[in-house]
Amino acid sequence: MPFSFLRGLTLVLLALCATGCATPKSYVVLMESPDGTTGAIVVETANGTTRVDKKMDAVALDGKSAKTFAVEPPRIEQDFSAALKAQPALPITFRLYFETGTANLTKASKADFQNVLTTLRERGPSAVSVIGHTDTEGKSKWNEQIGLKRATAIAEMFKKEGIKVIELVVTSHGESNLLVKTPDDTPEPRNRRVEIIVR
């Protein structure tokens, strides 16, 4: 069955059914995104423009009607199982936190690091970004350096654990990308972090 799908704020599935479909021969259905949100789509056909903004609602593309209709899960599975299975895994972001002024993980983040390793091993070789961050204590130049030390420390831990990656990008944002906005010279544990993005 030919199909296409779009990813982003919303997941849209297009079905082209053989004869005998209870639904129209071709239709677009709006699916819930992995984060639980549902965006909206606007479909233009010979019968006009239709906005679809409710999950599992669809609109026919065969020009017979511009009205939306609900599609039941069994029908979704029948029409789109191949498309859904073919989707690449979505990016996952992890945050690990550090002791003040160091590249040493907090006790809780040492445990969380095991979840990162598990994910990387299960997904197989992935593109990985490791971005170091700091709070606003100290000078900006120093924070840029400590952010890079933190990111590099995590990258070295991956190598030590034998993690294979397609690409590994290690960078520092220092204090320029705060998770929690604070004034200068403010200690904030949630800003002392490394963000790991697995694609």
Segments making up each domain of the chain, as ranges: 3-86, 92-198
**pLDDT value, residue 18:** 44
Tell me: pLDDT of 173 over 60: yes
Lowest mean pLDDT among 40-49, 88-97, 132-141: 40-49
**pLDDT value, residue 23:** 56
On whether the CB atoms of residues 40 and 30 are closer than 8 A, the answer is yes
On average, the pLDDT of the chain sits at 87
163: CB partners within 8 A, 6+ apart: 117, 120, 121
On whether the CB atoms of residues 126 and 198 are closer than 8 A, the answer is yes
Mean pLDDT of 80-93: 85
**pLDDT value, residue 53:** 92
Mean pLDDT of 22-35: 78
**DSSP of 113-158, one letter per residue?**
HHHHHHHHHHH-SEEEEEEEE--SSS-HHHHHHHHHHHHHHHHHHH
**pLDDT value, residue 4:** 31
pLDDT band at 10 (very low <50, low <70, confident <90, very high): very low
Mean pLDDT of 7-26: 53
Render pLDDT for 109-168 as a digit per residue (tens, 0 to 9): 999 999 999 999 999 899 999 999 999 999 999 999 999 999 999 999 999 999 999 999
**pLDDT value, residue 180:** 97
Assigned CATH for 92-198 = 3.30.1330.60
Tell me: pLDDT of 2 over 80: no
pTM value? 0.69
Percent of the chain's residues with pLDDT above 90: 63
83: CB partners within 8 A, 6+ apart: 3, 4, 5, 13
pLDDT band at 24 (very low <50, low <70, confident <90, very high): low
* CA pseudo-torsion sign 114, 117, 119, 122: negative
Mean pLDDT of 41-58: 89
